Amino acid sequence: MAELETFRAETRAWLEANCPAEMRTPLRSEKDACWGGRSFVFQSPAQKQWLDVMASRGWTVPDWPKAYGGGGLSPAETKILKEEMAAIGARPPLTSFGISMLGPALLKYGNEEQKTKYLTEIALGQIRWCQGYSEPGAGSDLAGLQTKAEDRGDHYLVNGQKVWTSYADQADWIFCLVRTSSETKHGGISFLLFDMDSPGVSTKPILLISGNSPFCETFFDDVKVPGDQLVGEVNKGWDVAKYLLGHEREMISGMGLVGEKQTLGASVGEVDPLLRAEIAAFDVDALAFAAMSERFIDQLKAGEAHPAMPSMMKYAGTELNKRRHELIIAAGGSDTLEWDSERSMGGKAARDWLRTKANSIEGGTSEVQLGIVAKHILRLPGA
């Protein structure tokens, strides 16, 4: 305990000295997040300074091994770092699907060359990734995917289409599920990594009801992918895919934690007593979810979490986030329905509310998550 208290004091002092004041303000939108990558344009010198200083210490991925650009911190030290960052309102230095999804999968299934190259680039914010999973005919039934990769000896030739590919038009590389055999449904899937600038790759944004386009259609037309960019074994990519999905669902469940440092009741103005009671009930549920999430993360880091728990957390977190934004709209009245004005920050409340509707679809629908919980945790008959 004495060592951890020393670490906390040193971490607090270091953050105080190195976190720019501008990086201690809440993110106003996704545009304020630092995604990194070869084409990323920093919003300010302070944003770049914060990324560089944290990356140099390995604290963009504090619990990753130092050999791969991480901080080499223990779970307890990582928790302290997050607590001390939250205490001063520090923004995450880097937001990355490489950190939240691909990184854990590479740590488990990647070879040494892949881990040294890609994990280090992720940790430094040098590469931005997107996820090539869902297809027009393979969403909830992901194993039904048909994007094909033909083995041509030293490379694979990839043809097909992905859909709902988040930020594909801004990503540098993609981690992609492809079919390398049609003999069995799950056994014929492989996991490839390749550059989005490869000849034959194209993207098309999908406009959502919120007016924004984080999602894209992605097309592959005779894309050549070097053979050494296969992760794990050929035809065994479903194992990698499932492991990564668990981490994706953990990431998405975090939406339920937004604003847990300040209750919703404290952030809204005067409302009628009935709505105030709904908001109070929400705040109780949000605090309970925060406690459950902390316990889940501790179990996950210790390797003690049930394999289906990410599905439970994903369902609870996304439904909680939808509830939050429903209440924000209700509490704000007609003002929150403004769409374009400067006063409403371009209709932020309305657009955020509409965006939450996708939370219960992306990463596996709420219905699919409930089915997983029913079958693997509750063991209900017929599930």
94 vs 358 pLDDT, higher one: 94
Longest dimension (CA), the chain: 69
Mean per-residue pLDDT of the chain:
91
247 vs 258 pLDDT, higher one: 247
| Residue 305 pLDDT | 84
For the cut 60, the answer to whether the pLDDT of residue 259 exceeds it is no
Tens of pLDDT, residue by residue over 97-129, are 999 999 999 999 999 999 999 999 999 999 999
For the cut 70, the answer to whether the pLDDT of residue 132 exceeds it is yes
| Residue 195 pLDDT | 98
Q: Nearest Cα to 105, choosing from 86, 92, 118? A: 118
| Residue 214 pLDDT | 83
CATH of domain 239-377: 1.20.140.10
Q: How confident is the model at residue 182 (pLDDT cuts 50, 70, 90)?
A: very high
Rounded-to-integer distance, Cα 357 and Cα 318, Å: 9
| Residue 260 pLDDT | 45
253 vs 165 pLDDT, higher one: 165
Q: Are strands 189-195 and 230-231 parallel, antiparallel or unpaired?
A: antiparallel
Domain ranges of the chain: 2-123, 129-235, 239-377
Residue 276's Cβ-count burial label (10 Å; 0-12, 13-18, 19+) is middle
- The pTM for the full model equals 0.84
Tens of pLDDT, residue by residue over 299-342, are 877 788 888 888 898 999 999 999 999 999 999 888 888 888 88
What average pLDDT score do residues 281-306 get? 87
Out of 142-146, 218-222, 317-321, give the one with best mean pLDDT: 218-222
For the cut 80, the answer to whether the pLDDT of residue 224 exceeds it is yes
Distance, first Cα to last Cα, the chain: 45
211 vs 188 pLDDT, higher one: 188
CA 79: distance to chain centroid? 18
Q: Nearest Cα to 311, choosing from 367, 369, 361? A: 369
For the cut 80, the answer to whether the pLDDT of residue 70 exceeds it is yes
User: Annotated catalytic, 248?
Assistant: yes
| Residue 15 pLDDT | 98
| Residue 261 pLDDT | 56
Q: Which residue has the tokens 């809440």?
A: 26
268 vs 193 pLDDT, higher one: 193
For the cut 70, the answer to whether the pLDDT of residue 383 exceeds it is no
Q: Which of 248, 250, 319, 362 is catalytic?
A: 248
User: 129-235: CATH homologous superfamily?
Assistant: Butyryl-CoA Dehydrogenase, subunit A, domain 2 (2.40.110.10)
Query: Is domain 2-123 given the CATH code 3.40.1120.10 in the classification?
Result: no
| Residue 256 pLDDT | 61
| Residue 255 pLDDT | 66
The residues, any chain, with a CB within 8 Å of residue 88's CB and separated by 6 or more, are: 15, 16, 19, 24
Q: How confident is the model at residue 249 (pLDDT cuts 50, 70, 90)?
A: confident
Residue 22's Cβ-count burial label (10 Å; 0-12, 13-18, 19+) is middle
